[in-house]
């Protein structure tokens, strides 16, 4: 039986959300409302700490990136080169990934919609801790309303001295003995999925075509405008103020340890549930919550009383789980446990018993084919061939050999096989091959058998 450790909201403290509040009471949190509820207190506490102590607090908390990869945040911050003079390290950047273009993912949107100052406080703390002087919030092109909300919040932050040339909090003293100034800007994308990849995001901010870069050099060494750069997700940065305020040990009381001997999954997580459920939405949960609990409790069960069949675990690129994995814990071990790419954004799309999994695979392949930047041949050509095969199979014109050919194409494209620069092709191949492997019967029922005629000659005919 699952017992939640999250007894009160952390990220959704000011955003009424089940089971802690009524969604009807939601409204945009202004600067004044944010400060009245303790906002920017963590920033003031951080400024009283040496920057390296803030980095260590985040590192000790075990906070892992909430954008999809789950990389330890504090460890990423230590990758920045050491400056000869920490008080004058030169221009270094923070790029905030608010692109959120992964199909089925909409959890960052909740924070951008209602509580943008939580992200801004996380930005300010990260910039102080890592000695970064400029932050860019890269927001998804289709997030028109959210862009206006964040832009207004940044304006409020400047008006009240959070950002600006005087220094954080109107030039407040810091543990270093000098104020630390940060400039914060909003940059709107043009709606390209590929710009959610961190180096393509940097190219886009620089005004270039959103093509992923070869690595190395890595962004921490040579990132935005050729300078050291940290790239963090919205939800990741939103966790930083509470870690500074309450400490690393407090953060570890939520979430779960690894059941497979790997790194733990500490803290709470925003999980956006969509698909065939009665109450889709974004919920703040402990990492490790079973998918069944997330569906049956938070989302009020399967729609129309139908049975659970499958789910995309956390954004389209992670692949699908089958009906036997309905009780799978939603933690960072789910990749190894259920043979999917990983937890991803932890935003599951739920499918009921009537879902046509062949159509799901074809639809996902169509998306990836459309969004490929075309820079790498295996992705550009492979995604197109995969879509053609799946369209043929869905139409009933395929043969059994097409199933093996689809899998062959899928497993030979992607950054993990070492054939592409970024992971878009990996998302394509994991989405398609997990569906095909776990629901092969549905695909076989749609294709014609491939026969290889074999003739056997005996007796006199064999010699003739």
CATH code, domain carrying 165? 3.40.50.11540
Q: Note the pLDDT of residue 126.
A: 98
Cα–Cα distance, 214 to 224 (Å, whole number): 14
Q: Note the pLDDT of residue 69.
A: 86
Is residue 59 in some structural domain? Answer: yes
Sheet (strand 281-286) strand order: 281-286, 268-275, 349-352, 308-312, 320-321
Walking along the chain (464 residues) 10 residues at a time, the average pLDDT comes out as: 87 95 95 96 97 96 92 95 81 96 94 97 97 96 96 98 95 93 96 93 95 93 96 97 96 92 93 97 96 96 96 93 95 94 94 97 96 93 95 94 93 90 93 95 91 65 52
Whether residues 326 and 403 fall in one domain: no
Between the CA of residue 156 and those of 32, 85, 119, 424, 442, what are the distances in Å? 9, 32, 13, 37, 55
The neighbouring-strand residues paired with 274 are 349
Residue with tokens 């009424």: 16
182, 128 Cβ separation under 8 angstroms: yes
Q: Note the pLDDT of residue 458.
A: 63
Cα–Cα distance, 429 to 443 (Å, whole number): 16
Is residue 67 in some structural domain? Answer: yes
Cα–Cα distance, 99 to 108 (Å, whole number): 9
Is residue 8 in some structural domain? Answer: no
321: CATH: 3.10.20.600
User: Length of the chain, please?
Assistant: 464
- Domain endpoint, select from 229, 253, 277: 253
Domain range holding 261? 256-352
Whether residues 244 and 292 fall in one domain: no
Whether residues 273 and 233 fall in one domain: no
Is residue 375 in some structural domain? Answer: yes
Cα–Cα distance, 460 to 353 (Å, whole number): 57
Is residue 9 in some structural domain? Answer: no
Cα–Cα distance, 42 to 13 (Å, whole number): 15
Whether residues 278 and 326 fall in one domain: yes
Whether residues 118 and 168 fall in one domain: yes
Whether residues 186 and 49 fall in one domain: yes
Whether residues 191 and 156 fall in one domain: yes
Is residue 15 in some structural domain? Answer: no
Domain count for the chain: 3
Is residue 5 in some structural domain? Answer: no
Nearest-Å Rg of the Cα atoms of the chain is 24
Whether residues 363 and 395 fall in one domain: yes
Q: What is the DSSP string of 405-447?
A: HHHHHHHT-STTTT-SSSSHHHHHHHHHHHHHHHTHHHHHTTS
Whether residues 278 and 371 fall in one domain: no
Bond before 146 cis per omega within 30 degrees? no
- Domain endpoint, select from 352, 379, 399: 352
Whole-structure pTM value: 0.93
Is residue 410 in some structural domain? Answer: yes
Whether residues 233 and 261 fall in one domain: no
401: CATH: 1.20.1440.230
Whether residues 345 and 422 fall in one domain: no
- Domain endpoint, select from 188, 220, 253: 253
Whether residues 315 and 369 fall in one domain: no
């Amino acid at each position: 039986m699952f017992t939640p450790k999250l007894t009160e909201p952390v990220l959704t403290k000011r955003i009424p959300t089940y089971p802690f509040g009524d969604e009807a009471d939601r409204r945009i949190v202004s600067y004044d409302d944010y400060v009245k509820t303790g906002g920017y207190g963590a920033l003031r506490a951080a400024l009283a700490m040496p920057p390296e102590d803030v980095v260590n607090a985040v590192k000790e908390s075990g906070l892992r990136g909430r954008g999809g990869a789950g990389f330890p945040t504090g460890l990423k911050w230590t990758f920045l080169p050491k400056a000869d003079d920490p008080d004058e390290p030169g221009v270094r950047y923070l790029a905030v990934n608010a692109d959120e273009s992964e199909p089925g993912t909409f959890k960052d949107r909740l924070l951008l919609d209602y509580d943008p100052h939580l992200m801004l406080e996380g930005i300010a703390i990260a910039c102080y801790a890592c000695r970064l002087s400029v932050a860019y919030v890269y927001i998804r092109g289709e997030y028109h309303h959210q862009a206006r909300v964040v832009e207004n919040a940044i304006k409020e932050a400047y008006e009240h001295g959070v950002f600006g040339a005087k220094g954080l909090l109107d030039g407040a003293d810091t543990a270093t003995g000098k104020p630390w100034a940060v400039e914060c800007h909003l940059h709107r994308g043009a709606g390209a999925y590929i710009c959610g990849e961190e180096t393509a995001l940097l190219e886009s901010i620089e005004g270039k075509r959103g093509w992923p870069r070869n690595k190395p050099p890595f962004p921490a060494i040579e990132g935005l405008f050729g300078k050291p750069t940290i790239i963090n997700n919205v939800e990741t940065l939103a966790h930083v103020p509470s870690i500074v305020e309450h400490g690393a040990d407090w953060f570890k009381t939520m979430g779960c340890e690894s059941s497979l001997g790997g790194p733990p999954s500490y803290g709470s997580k925003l999980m956006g549930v969509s698909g065939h459920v009665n109450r889709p939405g974004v919920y703040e949960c402990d990492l490790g919550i079973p998918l069944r609990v997330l569906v049956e409790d938070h989302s009020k069960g399967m729609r129309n009383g139908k049975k659970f069949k499958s789910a995309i675990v956390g954004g389209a690129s992670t692949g699908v789980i089958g009906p036997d994995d309905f009780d799978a814990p939603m933690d960072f071990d789910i990749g190894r446990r259920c043979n999917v790419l990983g937890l991803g954004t932890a935003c599951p799309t739920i499918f009921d018993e009537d879902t046509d999994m062949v159509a799901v695979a074809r639809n996902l392949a169509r998306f990836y084919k459309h969004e490929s930047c075309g820079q790498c041949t295996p992705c550009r050509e492979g995604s197109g061939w995969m879509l053609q095969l799946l369209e043929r199979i869905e139409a009933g014109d395929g043969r059994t050999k097409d199933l093996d050919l689809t899998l062959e194409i899928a497993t030979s494209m992607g950054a993990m096989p070492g054939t592409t620069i970024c992971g878009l092709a990996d998302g394509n191949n994991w989405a398609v091959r997990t569906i095909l492997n776990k629901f092969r019967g549905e695909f076989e029922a749609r294709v014609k058998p491939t026969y290889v005629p074999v003739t056997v000659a005996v007796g006199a005919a064999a010699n003739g």
